[in-house]
């Protein structure tokens, strides 16, 4: 049995004085020796935390004991070591940044797509009147996606609203949305309904839950995760690798961040190119004086940027 766990979760539930809650919650997490990343907003919680089995159990019990978060569903992975190095808990305007000026039109507690359990989703994906919509970013679906899924050219979820018009041709279809853990689909499906899509669904628990409960069938490639594992296996039934090395085109499932912190591009890169380019996406990035040492993983603790340089 592995000694550590990683918990992925979210909960849309109003939090009064969310900024203070974030500060208090950070102290609580540190008291349990947890590491991870939690976003707190007036609309709820979005987090991934990691630590000992005992600490994770205590954390889940504490979250469920709070009436506001009693419905929170945790996706639990047993891991060899904690999936983060530090603990962060920050207040932001949204737990998933939608890019909308008026966020009231997509309140998941009022209206969202019909939740499909993994087995239900699995039964629907091959129906003729169904389209499968990946609402994640480019670097995520480049690494892995459902067979025949429609993907969008977006760098961040806040770009999703601008793509709604491109999807208008599917208004008469059943639209099945999916993402990593379900949180983006809550807002994506709500926005689709707002724009006149009538039959909208979402994969409850996302790709991670689908892998655990439906074997990940027909999910091609790996699933990108936002911790130092970077990518995890999902499909135990008919697995495949669909991603290719950004530099040479060789089939590879390895995802890295460019070693140049001023670039930090998410790319798939084979080990040979990783060694040759020292973990960088290009020759230009190798010469950057702030280039981080490449240890073969392609994962780096976030480095503060000098004033005037964007990450």
Smallest CA-to-CA distance from 187 within 261, 246, 257, 105 is with 105
Q: Which of 89, 179, 185, 280 is catalytic?
A: 179
In a domain, 180, yes or no: yes
Q: What confidence tens digit (pLDDT) does each residue in 27-38 have?
A: 999 999 999 999
What is the pLDDT at residue 304? 47
| 77, 116: one domain | no
Active-site residue flag, 179? yes
CATH of the domain at 151: 3.40.250.10
pLDDT above 90 covers a percentage of the chain that reads 92
- Band (306; pLDDT cuts 50, 70, 90): very low
Q: Is residue 231 part of a domain?
A: no
Which strand (E) or helix (H) includes residue 141? helix 138-143
Same domain? For 82 and 152 the reply is no
For residue 26, what is the domain's CATH number? Answer: 3.30.70.100
User: pLDDT of 128-142, one tens digit each?
Assistant: 999 999 999 999 999
Strands 144-146 and 114-116, bridge-based pairing = unpaired
Is residue 227 situated within a structural domain?
Answer: no
Sign of the Cα torsion 27, 29, 34, 40 reads negative
Same domain, residue pair 85 and 121: no
Out of 194, 215, 236, a domain closes at: 215
Residues 49 and 130 in one domain: no
Report the chain's mean pLDDT, rounded to a whole number: 94
Last residue of a domain, one of 174, 200, 215: 215
Domain range spanning residue 254?
244-311
**Residue 232 belongs to some domain of the structure:** no
Same domain, 32 and 117: no
Tell me, what DSSP letter sits at residue 246? T
Which residues, including other chains, have CB under 8 Å from residue 161's CB and lie 6 or more apart?
Answer: 98, 99, 100, 191
- Which tokens hold the place of 140? 């995520």
Q: Which of 35-44, 58-67, 299-308 has the lowest mean pLDDT?
A: 299-308
The residue among 171, 103, 98 whose CA lies nearest residue 135 is 98
SS3 assignment for 26-91: HHHHHHCCCEEEEEEECCEEEEEEEEEHHHHHHHHHHHHHCHHHCCCCCEEEEECCCCCCCEEEEE
CA atoms within 13 A on the CB side of 189: 28
The answer to whether residue 228 is domain-embedded is: no
What strand order describes the sheet that includes 130-134? 114-116, 200-203, 174-178, 130-134
pLDDT computed for residue 280 by the predictor: 97
Q: Is 101 domain-assigned?
A: no
Closest CA to 5 of 45, 36, 31, 46: 36
Can you tell me the distance from the alpha carbon of 267 to that of 255, in angstroms, rounded to the nearest whole number? 6
Total domains in the fold of the chain: 3
**Residue 143 included in any domain:** yes
CA dist 58 and 310 (Å) reads 38
Question: What pLDDT digit, counting tens, does each position of 144-179 carry?
Answer: 999 999 999 999 999 999 999 999 999 999 999 999
Residue 181, in any domain of the structure: yes
**pLDDT tens profile 77-129:** 999 999 999 999 999 999 999 999 999 899 999 999 999 999 999 999 999 99
Render 261-300 in DSSP notation, one character per residue: TTT--EEE--HHHHHHTTT-SSHHHHT-TTPPPP-SS---
Confidence of residue 308 (pLDDT cuts 50, 70, 90): very low
DSSP at 164 = G
**SS3 for 78-118, per residue?**
EECCCCCCCEEEEECCCCCCCCCCCHHHHCCCCCCCEEECH
């Amino acid at each position: 049995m592995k000694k550590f766990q990683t918990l992925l979760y979210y909960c849309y539930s109003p939090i009064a004085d969310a900024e203070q809650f974030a500060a208090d919650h950070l102290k609580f997490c540190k008291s349990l020796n947890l590491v991870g990343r939690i976003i707190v907003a007036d609309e709820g919680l979005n987090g991934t935390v990691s630590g000992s089995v005992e600490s994770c159990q205590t954390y889940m019990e504490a979250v469920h004991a709070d009436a506001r978060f009693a419905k929170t569903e945790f996706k639990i992975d047993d891991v060899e070591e904690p999936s983060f190095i530090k603990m962060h808990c920050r207040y932001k305007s949204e737990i998933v940044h939608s890019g909308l000026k008026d966020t009231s039109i997509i309140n998941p507690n009022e209206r969202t797509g019909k939740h499909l359990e993994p087995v239900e989703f699995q039964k629907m994906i091959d129906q003729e009147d169904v389209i499968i919509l990946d609402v994640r970013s480019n670097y995520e679906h480049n690494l892995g996606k459902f067979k025949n899924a429609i993907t969008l050219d977006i760098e961040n979820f806040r770009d999703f609203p601008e793509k709604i018009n491109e999807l208008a041709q599917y208004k008469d279809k059943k639209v099945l949305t999916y993402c990593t853990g379900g949180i983006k689909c809550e807002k994506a499906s709500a926005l689709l309904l707002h724009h006149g899509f009538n039959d909208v669904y979402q994969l409850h628990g996302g790709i991670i839950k689908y892998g655990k409960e439906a074997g990940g069938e027909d999910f091609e490639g790996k699933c990108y995760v936002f911790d130092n594992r970077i990518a995890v296996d999902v499909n135990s039934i008919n697995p495949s690798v669909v991603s290719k090395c950004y530099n040479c085109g060789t089939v590879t499932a390895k995802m890295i961040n460019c070693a140049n912190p001023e670039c930090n591009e998410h790319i798939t890169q084979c080990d040979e190119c990783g060694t040759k380019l020292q973990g960088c996406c290009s020759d230009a990035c190798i010469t950057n004086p702030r280039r981080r040492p490449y240890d073969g993983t392609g994962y780096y603790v976030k480095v503060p940027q000098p004033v005037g340089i964007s990450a």
